[in-house]
Structure 1
Amino acid sequence: MSDSASSTQHGLRGKPMRRVVMGSFAGALLEWYDFFIFGTAAGLIFAPLFFPESAPNTGIIAAFATFGVGFFARPLGGMVFGHFGDKIGRKVTLIWTLIIVGTSTFLIGCIPSWHSIGIWAPIILMVLRLIQGFGLGGEYGGAALMTIESAPPTRRGFFGSLPQAAASVGLMLATGVFALCTHLLTPEQFMSWGWRIPFWLSAVMLIVGLFIRLHTDETLDFQRNRPQLDTKKTPLPIVTLFREHPRTIWLAFGARLAESVSSNVINAFGIVYVSTQLMLSRDVPLTGMMVASAVGIVSCPLMGWLSDRIGQRRVYLISAGFCVIYALPFFMLLNTQDAFIITLSMVLGYNLGPTMMFAVQPTLFASLFGTHVRYTGLSFAYQFSSILGGMSPFIAATLLLLGNGKPWLVGMFMMLVSLISFVCVWKINATVKQVRKHGVSECVSP
């Protein structure tokens, strides 16, 4: 190892650490770009393209159902890739997830509309969304661990937040590309072929991401643990996970719900609510989320830096509590129909809510599991909770319909889920102390 890197005992530094961060960030960026362009497209254009024979509200619900169905494949992907990530390594597993996600996203942009092939259009969309979800299921845990398991223990909160900042970059790119296409093209051109451009651009990110990841080393924690995996026969990581951490895994699952639900309500559903229910230009919510995501690029690593000083658990509690309090005021601010206030509401909601939790989430969760089950543990907690998060726009659209166009049921849904997460994070403290006592975690505890 070069002089620019410290011993494995204290983590990588200098150029080797920068290379690891770049590899994690590139893959996470592709993941979140693909995630957000599908969510944005589902809210804005999938209904008339793939469900034209449905009533407007029913078409939107059907479009959001295709968005949500991918989340049902994510737990399977999380378990499959979590298994291989814990058995053969983080690096090779992440290369495969990147290929699956990038290819399926590109192909979504090639699907003919309902008017060309009829019922086969939404069927193909659903299948590709399931494949995309399968690949995404293995991406999160590995991308986060690539940096956390190689970083100095006292800075894992900060380094763990850097790949998380890719979510804000991906959101900004996704909304920015859609906004640019709507500006440069006529509505007819955009609905005919312009909507495909954001999906096709994922091919460029796939190529760049693969190049970087192929030149990234395996994590230090996994390298230290590798001799144990090679010299003894170990049970399946998922079996070991539930045997050693039966309580912890469900607390992590519950803790993650607030981030997943609030993110999709504020972003995917918020854009649709402003543009279809309040009848404002699509540029208003798209611009709002672009500004919010731009701020998130800075706030995410800032929260990671802060968590190294006051603890990941404390930062997470503050953010979950904010979501409980902010759920109803968020829609009150949107209902002003003022472009500046709408942007402000999205900036506050996105950055003090899901982004703040998301920044410290992988480091907090990684501290709960040993290296031999960590990829599986993170993937299980993240991907199974993602089912409710992915269905949130669908649930929100249904609640809006039940509320006669009023968003208060949606706000109460977000408030309840955030309260559940707050309680789970509160109880995590005792679990972390128990994990530290038994010495099964190499990560810095929150």
Structure 2
Amino acid sequence: MLRLAAAALAGTAIEFYDFFIYGTAAALVLGPLFFPTFSPLAGTLAAFGTFGVGFVARPLGSVLFGHIGDRHGRRPVLVVSLLLTGASTVAVGCVPSYASIGTAAPVLLLVLRFLQGLGLGGEWGGAVLLTAEHAPADRRGLWSSFPQIGPALGFVLANGVILALSAMLSDAQFAAWGWRVPFWAAGVLAAAGLWLRSSLAESPRFLEMREHARVPLVEVVRGHWRLVLLTAGALSVGYALFYAVTTWSLAYATERLGVSRTVMLAVIMAAVVVKGALTPVVAVLSDRYGRRPLCLAGCAGAAVWMFPMIALLSTGEPLLMFLGFLVALIAFVTMFAVIAAYLPELYEPRVRCTGAAVGYNLGGVVGGALTPIVATAIAEQSGRVPWGVAAYLTGIALLSLGCFALLPETRFAKVTAVEPATG
């Protein structure tokens, strides 16, 4: 289990590094480089629009790779999705700017971001299911949380590289070529991830199934459509919280509040590090007290904290911003640390790869794709403190709270091939 969980963690860290590096670049440099004819606000919105395309592609990736995972096994998904995401990320670093090739530049950026999202849409389902379906029932929350630590590691790695480059290079050097370096580094990381995953065993739950869904998506739509919509709505707040903190606030604080890029990256990274460290702790609690109670508590905490978080962000003071982000991400991790165990338990094995991944990634469209764009537009119409952004995030939290309230508890659901007697 330790080797399997470590390989899943490393793979998700690498794939989310690829995904997050784009978000950071969109907040800092992609607007002026690829949309120079736009105003600064419009350029930022356009860059966030290409960022959002990745989230739109993720459910499509869930369908494509979910079909492979439900028909041919979880393991092939991990290899192909990593190759696709890694190759498209390296290619982003090679796209010439608008000044060099004109409108072809943002078009290429859009296509590559779509391919990134397609690959990541398959990655999460494969990594989580391979771990969850190997894990014993009474420790499924803990072992399944390892892939959920991957996004935090990927984010810290991505922003650490940006932070180091920001410290070493001038603004002109960073805009000219420095921002491309993290994208090129994705090729090395992808090769390392493929090596780690080359010897993983197939899921025992998949191997014991005698019949596999012929068209998994059709079965999911016919028999599980309500569950897909509920899980998508429930997970929306997690995406909204995370990308409000890590993407929108970075652009807002540097452009509107005059906070330096280096300070903002350091503040956000520090909060994400704590969030990553808390992930297995919360997961252990879910093995003892259940998945649903923690998800409800996380949603409630998010709903209560959005107005204080925006107030603290608007001060521009690093310690106060860190406090605002930290509490928000604790609410986030209270939900998302247990999702890797919760979603596989909700879906029957023959369509689990498709159903769980589609529900998970549809939540990203509502919460992740729209939040940076909507928050940027709302903040532009606001005064010093963008209370409208707080109201928007609170509304998403209440929507998710209602969806989680309608989902069942699943702590003792049968997921693995052989369950211990205590399960």
TM-score interval, smaller chain: over 0.9
Distance in structure 2 (CA, Å) of the matches to 1:148 and 1:256: 19
- SS state at 2:406 partner: helix
CA distance in 2, matches of 1:412, 1:301: 31
- The answer as to whether partners of 2:311 and 2:385 remain within 8 angstroms in 1 is no
Q: Secondary structure at the match of 2:407?
A: helix
| Aligned mates of 1:354, 1:382 — CA distance in 2 | 14
Aligned Cα root-mean-square deviation (Å):
2.0
Superposed CA deviations along residues 157-205 of structure 1, whole A, max 9, x for unmatched, are 0111111001111111111111100001111111111101111111111
Residue 77 (1) aligns with residue 65 (2): no
Q: Match for 1:424 among 372, 390, 403?
A: 403
1:262 equivalent in alignment to 2:262? no
Identity %: 37
Secondary structure of residue in 1 paired with 2:242: helix
1:55 counterpart = 2:34 = no
Residue among 125, 130, 150 paired with 1:146:
130
Q: CA contact under 8 A between 2:121 and 2:357: conserved in structure 1?
A: yes
Quick one: structure 1 residues 247 and 267, their matched pair in 2 at CA, closer, same or farther if it must change by over 3 Å? same
Report whether the alignment pairs 1:379 with 2:345: no
Mapping 1:181-196, distance limit 5 Å: 181-196=165-180
* 1:358 maps to 2:341: no
Counterpart position of 1:27: 11
Q: Answer yes or no: is 1:402 the counterpart of 2:418.
A: no
Code of the residue aligned with 1:181 in structure 2: it is L
Asked whether the equivalents of residues 291 and 338 of structure 2 are also in contact (C-alpha less than 8 Å), the reply is yes
Letter aligned with residue 23 of structure 2: G
| 1:43 aligned partner, one-letter code | A
2:282 is matched with: 303
Task: State the match for 1:228 in structure 2.
Answer: 211
**2:266 equivalent among 266, 270, 287:** 287
Structure 1 residue 441, shift from structure 2 partner:
8.9
CA distance in 2 between partners of 1:245 and 1:69 (Å): 26
Q: Which residue of 1 is the match for residue 218 of structure 2?
A: 239
Could you tell me how far apart the structure 2 residues matched to 1:196 and 1:115 are?
16
C-alpha separation in 1, matches of 2:357 and 2:78: 13
Contact 1:71 1:386 in 2 (8 A): yes
Match among 181, 197, 210 for residue 181 of structure 2? 197
Q: Matches of 2:6 and 2:200 in 1, distance apart?
A: 9
User: After TM superposition, where is structure 1 displaced by more than 4 Å over at least 4 residues in a row?
Assistant: 439-444
- Deviation of 1:138 after TM superposition, in Å, equals 0.8
Q: 1:441 to 1:368 in 2, by over 3 A?
A: farther
Give me the whole-angstrom Cα distance separating, in 2, the residues matched to 1:93 and 1:167. Answer: 18
Kept after mapping to 2: 8 A contact 1:73/1:133? yes
What's the CA shift string for 1:56-85, capped at 9, x where partnerless? 111111110010012111111110110110
Correspondent of 1:131 among 112, 115, 126: 115
Per-residue deviation, 1:440: 8.8
Residue identity in the other structure for 1:241: V
Instruction: Tell me what 1:14 maps to.
Output: none
- How far residue 404 of structure 1 moved from its aligned partner, in angstroms, is 4.9
Query: Aligned equivalents of 1:349 and 1:417: distance in 2?
Result: 14
Paired position in structure 1 for 2:154: 170
Q: Which amino acid aligns with 2:376?
A: A
**Could you tell me how far apart the structure 1 residues matched to 2:312 and 2:166 are?**
25
Give the SS at the match of 1:428: coil
| Aligned counterpart in structure 2 of residue 328 of structure 1, from 307, 323, 344 | 307
Task: Provide the C-alpha distance between the structure 1 equivalents of 2:177 and 2:67, rounded to a whole number of angstroms.
Answer: 40
Q: Which amino acid aligns with 1:110?
A: C
Structure 2 residue corresponding to 1:337, chosen from 316, 320, 328:
316
Whether the 8 Å CA contact 1:222–1:371 is kept in 2: the answer is yes
**Deviation per CA, 1:127-151, whole angstroms, max 9, x where unpaired?**
1111111111111111111111101
| Contact kept? 2:23, 2:51, Cα under 8 Å | yes
Deviations 1:243-280 (A, max 9, x none): 33232222111111111111111111011111111111
| Matched positions, count | 420
How do residues 37-48 of structure 1 correspond to structure 2 at under 5 angstroms?
37-48=21-32
TM-aligned CA deviation for residue 406 of structure 1:
4.0
CA contact (8 A) 1:367 1:441 kept: no
Match of 1:65 in 2: 49
Equivalent pair of 1:288/1:347 in contact (CA under 8 Å): no
Letter in 1 for 2:341: T
Is 2:255 aligned against 1:276? yes
8 Å contact kept, 2:305–2:327: no
* Partner deviation per Cα, 1:9-41 (whole Å, 9 max, x = no partner): xxxxxxxx1221122112101121111111110
Deviation (angstroms), 1:228: 2.9
Contact 1:162 1:301 in 2 (8 A): yes
- Matched residue type, 2:358: F
Alpha-carbon separation, structure 2, partners of 1:187 and 1:208: 31
- Mark the runs of 5 or more structure 2 residues left unpaired by the alignment: none
Provide the rounded CA distance (Å) in 2 between the counterparts of 1:406 and 1:292: 21
Rounded to whole Å, the distance in 2 between the matches of 1:269 and 1:170 is 18
* Per-residue Cα deviation, 1:92-140 (whole angstroms, up to 9, x for no partner): 1110000000000011011111111111111110111111111111111
Aligned equivalents of 1:248 and 1:334: distance in 2?
Answer: 36
Distance 1:278 1:256 in 2: 30
Quote the Cα distance in structure 2 between the aligned partners of 1:362 and 1:377.
13
CA contact (8 A) 1:370 1:441 kept: no
